[in-house]
Structure 1
Amino acid sequence: MLGEMWQFRGRYKILHMTWFAFFLSFVVWFNLAPLATTVKAAFDLEPGQIKTVAICNVALTVPARIIIGMLLDKYGPRLTYSCLLIYAAIPCILFACAQNLSQLIVSRLLLSIVGAGFVIGIRMTAEWFPPKEIGLAEGIYGGWGNFGSAFSAFTMVGLAGALSFFPGAFTLPSGDPLNWRFAIAGTGIIAAIYGVIYYFNVQDTPPGKVYRRPKSARGLEVTTKKDFWFLMVMNMPLTVILMVLAWRLKKVGFLNESSYPIVLVALLCLYLFQAYNCWVVNKDLLSGAKRYPPEDRYKFKQVAILELTYIVNFGSELAVVSMLPAFFEGTFGLSKAFAGILAASYAFMNLFARPSGGLISDKLGSRRMTMGLLTLFMGVGYLVMSSIPAVRDGLGYDPEVGASGALIALAVVMTMACSFFVQAGEGSTFAIVPLVKRRVTGQVAGNVGAYGNVGAVAYLTLYSLLPDGDLGNIRFFQVLGICAIIVAMLCLFILEEPKGSFAEHHEGEEESANSALETEMM
C-alpha cells in the first residue's frame, strides 16, 4: 500500500479527497485560535470572554459527532461530508459579520458542528480499504487531515496580514479592520466550494459493494441487554460535559441566573431523548422478541474502552495544544512568537505519527496490544513532560540570563516524543473502530470521537482550576499521564481483538464484490 499510496485513482483517489475534506474542516474549525488576540482587541473582550468563545468552538462538537454518525450510517459519507463542508460557510460568515460578544458565541457554537467532520471519513475510508490495511489508511486520513489545525495556525495570521496591505478595500470608514473577518469568512467559502467538488468526485463504496445500513439510525444498536444499560451509562458523560460548558457560559454572563437552569433542564431532556431513541432501536432485544445469533453480536465494552482511549489521546492533544505555547513561554521566559513556534511541533507530528500508529497496528499482528502499548508509552511521555521544570532547574536555569538552546532543544525533544505516542495512539484507536460492527461504524466512530471532545473540555476545565506556574503545569501533565496509564491497563487486559482484524475482506463482504475494486476502478 505504501508504494501505491501516491496514485490518484481508485481507492487512493477516495483516500486523498477524503483526507483533504477533513483537512479543510479542521482549517475552518481552528480558524479562530491564531486570530484570537485580534478578535479580542476588536471587541474589547476580557480574557475570560475570549476563552469562553474559544471553548464554544468545541461545545456542540460533542452532540454533533453523535448525530453526524447517525446521518452517516443512514445517508452515506459522500452526501454527509459534502453537506457539512457546504454548511461550514454559514457560521464562518456569521462570525465574520458579528458585532458583539453574543453573536461571536452563537456563531462559534454553530461552527463547532464542523468539528464533527472527522467521523465521516472514518467510514468512507473503511468502505474502500480491507481490514488488513485499514490502520494505515485511517491513520493517513486522520493524521494528514488533522494537520489542518497547524496549517490554520500558520496561515490565518499571514492571510489577515496580507489583506491589511489593502486598507481601502479591507477597512471600514470608521477605521475598523476587516482583514481578519475576510480571512475567517474565506476559509468557510473555500470549504463550501470543495464540498461541491467532493460530491461529484467520490462514491460511498467501490463498484459491486453494498453500503450496509442499520435498520434504524436513531440510536446505537447493541446486541445484548447488558450492553444496552452499559450504553446508557456511557452516554451520561456526554451530557455532563455539556453542563460544564453551560457553567462556563454562565461565568462570563452569556447565561444568567434564570436561563442557566433552563439550559441544564434542556440538556437533561436531551439525554432522555437520546436514551429513548436507543430504546426504540433496541426495544425488541430488551423485550426478548429478538435475539442475536453469536456471529452477529459485538461487545459494547469494546466501544467503551475505545471511548476512554480517545479521551486520553485526542482529548489530551486538544488540551495540550491549547496550553503548550503558554507553558513554553512561562517555563523558559520565551517570547510569545517563539513559544508558539515550539508548541507547533506538537501538532506537526500528526503528519507521520498518526499514520505510524495505524501502520504499527497493521503490522504488529495484534491491534489490542498496539493500542495498549502506545497508550502506556503516552502516559510515560506525559509524566516525563511533567519533569521539564525540574530538569530546567537541575541544569541551573537563570531567568535573567534565559534558557540555553540545548535546554530548549531537550524540552522540545521530550515534547515531540510524547506527541508521537499520543497521535500514534489516535491512529491505533481508529484502526479498531471500523472493525467493531460494520453496519454501525458511523455511530461507533461518532461516540468515540465525541469522547475526545469530552476529554478536551474536562482537561481544560481542570487546567483552569489548577494554580498558575510550574506547580499547575506539573500537576496537569501528571494527571494526563496517570489517566493514560490506567486506560492502557484496560486496553491490555480487557480490550478484545476485533473479529477479522487482519482479514482480506470486511465482515459480511462478498469475495466477488471486493475483487471488483481493483478491476473496475483502475
Structure 2
Amino acid sequence: MLGEMWQFRGRYKILHMTWFAFFLSFVVWFNLAPLATTVTEAFGLEPGQIKTVAICNVALTVPARIIIGMLLDRYGPRLTYSCLLIYAAIPCIMFACAQNLTQLIISRLLLSIVGAGFVIGIRMVAEWFPPKEIGLAEGIYGGWGNFGSAFSAFTMVGLAGVLSFFPGAFTLSTGEPLNWRVAIATTGVIAAVYGVIYYFNVQDTPPGKVYRRPKSARGLEVTTKGDFWFLMAMNLPLTAILMLLAWRLKGVGFLTDASYPIVLVCLAALYLFQAYNCWAVNKDLMSSKKRYPAEDRYKFKQVAILELTYIVNFGSELAVVSMLPAFFEGTFGLTKALAGMLAASYAFMNLVARPGGGLISDKLGSRRITMAVLTLCMGLGYLVMSSIPAVRDSLGYDAEVGASGALIVLALVMTMACSFFVQAGEGSTFAIVPLIKRRVTGQVAGNVGAYGNVGAVAYLTLYSLLPDGDAGNIRFFQVLGIAAIIVAMLCFFILEEPKGSFAEHHEGEAESAASSVSTEANI
C-alpha cells in the first residue's frame, strides 16, 4: 500500500479526496484561534469572553458527532460529507458578519458542528480498504486531515495580512478593517465549493459492493440486554459535558439566571430523547422478541474502551494544543511568536504520527496490544512533560537571562516524542473502530469521536481551575499522564482483539479479492 498510495485512482483517489475534505473541515473549525487576538480587540472582549467563544467552538461537536454518525449510516458518506462542507459556509459567514458577543457565540456554536466531519471519512475509508490495511488508511485520513488545524494557524494570519494591503476594498467607511472577517468567510466558501466537487467525484463503495445500513439509524444497535444499559450509562457523560459548557456560558453572561435552568432541563430532555431512540431501535431485543446469533453479536465494552482511549489521546491533544503556547512562553520566557512556533510542532506530528500508529497496528499482529502500548507510552510521555519545569530549574535556568537554546531544544524533543504517542494512539483507535460492527460503523465512530470532545472540554475546564504558572502546568500534565496509564491498563486486560482484524475483507463481504481488484481498476 505504501508504494501505491500516491496514485490518484481507484481507492487511493477516494482516500486522497476524503482526507482533503477532512483537512478543509479542520481549517474551518480552527480558523478562529490564530485570529483570536484580533477578534478580541475588534469587539473589546474580556479574556473570559474570548475563552468562552473558543469553548463554544467545540460545544455542539459532541452531539453533532452522534447525529452525523446516524446520518452517515443511513445516507452514506458521499452525501453526508458534501452537505456538511457546504453547510460550513453558513456559520463562517455569520461569524464574519457578527456585530456583538451574542452573535459570535451563536455562530461558533453552529460552526462547532463542522468539527464532526471526521467520523464521516472513517466509514468512507473503511468501505474502500480491507481490514488488513485499515490502520494505515485511516491513519493517513486522520493524520493528514488533522493537519488542517496547523495549516489554519499558519495561514489565517497571513491571509488577513495580505488583505490588509487593500484598505479600500476591505475597510468600512468607519475605518474598521474587514480583513479578518473576509479571511474567515473565505475558508467557509472554499469548503462549500469543495463539497460540490466531492459529491461528483466519489462513490460510497467500490462497484459491485453493497453499502450496509442498519435497520434504523435512530440510535445505536446493540446485541445484548446488558449492553443496552451499558450504552445508557456511557451516554451520560455526553450530556454532562454539555451541562458543563452551559455553566461556562452562564459565567460570561450569555445565559441568565432564568435561562440557565431551562437549558439544563432541555439537555436532560435531550438525553431522555436519545435514550428513547435507542430503546426504539433495541426494543425487540429488550422485550426478548429478538435474539442475535453469536456470529452477529458485538461487545459494547469494545466501544466503551475506545471512547476512553479517545478521551485520553484526542481529548488531551485538543487541550494541550490550546495551552502549549502559553506553557512555552511562561516556562522559558519566550516571545509569543516563538512560543507559538514551538507549540505548533505538536500538531505537525499528525502528518507522520497518526499514519504511523495505524501502520504499527497493521503490522504488529495485534491491534489490542498496539492500542495498549501506545496509550501507556503516551501516559509516560505526559509525565515526562510534567517534569520540564524541574529539568529547567536543574539546568540553572535564569529568568533574567532566558532559556538556553539547548534547553529549549530538549523541551521541544520531549514534547514531540509525547505528541507522537498521542497521535499514534489516535490512529490506533480508529484502526479498531471500523472492525467493531460494520453496519453501525458510523454510529460507533460518532460515539468514539464525541468522547474526544468530552475529554477536551473536561481537560480545559480542569486547566482553567488550576493555579497559574509551573504548579498548574505540572499538575495538568500529571493528570493527563495518569488518566492515560489507567486507560492503557483497561486496553491490556479488558479490550479484545476484533474479529477479522487482518482479514482480506470486512465482515459480511462476499466479493473475492480478485473481483475487488478488477472492479477498482475500472474506476
Settle same-fold status: TM greater than 0.5: yes
- CA shift, 1:130, in A, is 0.2
- CA shift, 1:392, in A, is 0.1
Given that 1:302 and 1:436 are in contact with CA atoms closer than 8 Å, whether structure 2 keeps it comes out as yes
> Partner residue of 2:142?
142
- CA shift, 1:518, in A, is 1.9
CA distance in 1 between partners of 2:306 and 2:519 (Å)? 35
Q: Following superposition of structure 1 onto structure 2, how do residues 111-260 of structure 1 map, counting pairs within 5 Å?
A: 111-260=111-260
- CA shift, 1:511, in A, is 2.6
Given that 1:206 and 1:516 are in contact with CA atoms closer than 8 Å, whether structure 2 keeps it comes out as no
- CA shift, 1:519, in A, is 1.2
Q: Following superposition of structure 1 onto structure 2, how do residues 92-103 of structure 1 map, counting pairs within 5 Å?
A: 92-103=92-103
> Partner residue of 2:54?
54
CA distance in 1 between partners of 2:508 and 2:24 (Å)? 33
> Partner residue of 1:105?
105
CA distance in 2 between partners of 1:146 and 1:305 (Å)? 22
> Partner residue of 2:65?
65
> Partner residue of 1:520?
519
- CA shift, 1:259, in A, is 0.2
Given that 2:209 and 2:511 are in contact with CA atoms closer than 8 Å, whether structure 1 keeps it comes out as no
Given that 1:10 and 1:517 are in contact with CA atoms closer than 8 Å, whether structure 2 keeps it comes out as no
- CA shift, 1:48, in A, is 0.3
Give a deviation string over 1:126-154, Cα, whole Å, max 9, x none: 00000000000000000000000000000
> Partner residue of 1:339?
339
CA RMSD of aligned residues (A): 0.5
Tell me which amino acid in the other structure corresponds to 1:188: G
Tell me which amino acid in the other structure corresponds to 1:426: E
Give a deviation string over 1:488-521, Cα, whole Å, max 9, x none: 0000110000000000000010134x53332123
> Partner residue of 1:446?
446
Tell me which amino acid in the other structure corresponds to 2:310: Y
Tell me which amino acid in the other structure corresponds to 1:430: F
Given that 1:373 and 1:488 are in contact with CA atoms closer than 8 Å, whether structure 2 keeps it comes out as yes
> Partner residue of 2:28?
28
CA distance in 2 between partners of 1:493 and 1:359 (Å)? 23
SS in 2 for 1:521: helix
Give a deviation string over 1:241-274, Cα, whole Å, max 9, x none: 0000000000000000000000000000000000
Tell me which amino acid in the other structure corresponds to 1:152: S
Give a deviation string over 1:206-240, Cα, whole Å, max 9, x none: 01100000000000000000000000000000000
Tell me which amino acid in the other structure corresponds to 2:103: Q
> Partner residue of 2:303?
303
Q: Does 1:264 align with 2:264?
A: yes
Given that 2:208 and 2:519 are in contact with CA atoms closer than 8 Å, whether structure 1 keeps it comes out as no
Given that 2:374 and 2:424 are in contact with CA atoms closer than 8 Å, whether structure 1 keeps it comes out as yes
Tell me which amino acid in the other structure corresponds to 2:450: A
CA distance in 2 between partners of 1:418 and 1:425 (Å)? 11
Given that 1:81 and 1:120 are in contact with CA atoms closer than 8 Å, whether structure 2 keeps it comes out as yes
TM superposition score normalised by structure 1 = 1.00
Give a deviation string over 1:142-172, Cα, whole Å, max 9, x none: 0000000000000000000000000000000
CA distance in 2 between partners of 1:518 and 1:98 (Å)? 51
Given that 1:342 and 1:412 are in contact with CA atoms closer than 8 Å, whether structure 2 keeps it comes out as yes
Tell me which amino acid in the other structure corresponds to 2:518: T
TM superposition score normalised by structure 2 = 0.99
Give a deviation string over 1:394-423, Cα, whole Å, max 9, x none: 000000000000000000000000000000
CA distance in 1 between partners of 2:285 and 2:103 (Å)? 46
SS in 2 for 1:91: helix
Tell me which amino acid in the other structure corresponds to 1:26: F
Tell me which amino acid in the other structure corresponds to 1:515: A
CA distance in 1 between partners of 2:516 and 2:30 (Å)? 36
CA distance in 2 between partners of 1:470 and 1:515 (Å)? 59
CA distance in 2 between partners of 1:13 and 1:332 (Å)? 45
CA distance in 2 between partners of 1:318 and 1:286 (Å)? 38
Given that 1:10 and 1:518 are in contact with CA atoms closer than 8 Å, whether structure 2 keeps it comes out as no
> Partner residue of 1:289?
289
> Partner residue of 1:18?
18
> Partner residue of 2:84?
84
Give 5+ residue unaligned stretches, structure 1. none
Tell me which amino acid in the other structure corresponds to 2:40: K
CA distance in 2 between partners of 1:420 and 1:34 (Å)? 23
CA distance in 2 between partners of 1:23 and 1:516 (Å)? 32
- Give the number of equivalent residue pairs: 521
- CA shift, 1:434, in A, is 0.1
Give a deviation string over 1:99-124, Cα, whole Å, max 9, x none: 00000000000000000000000000
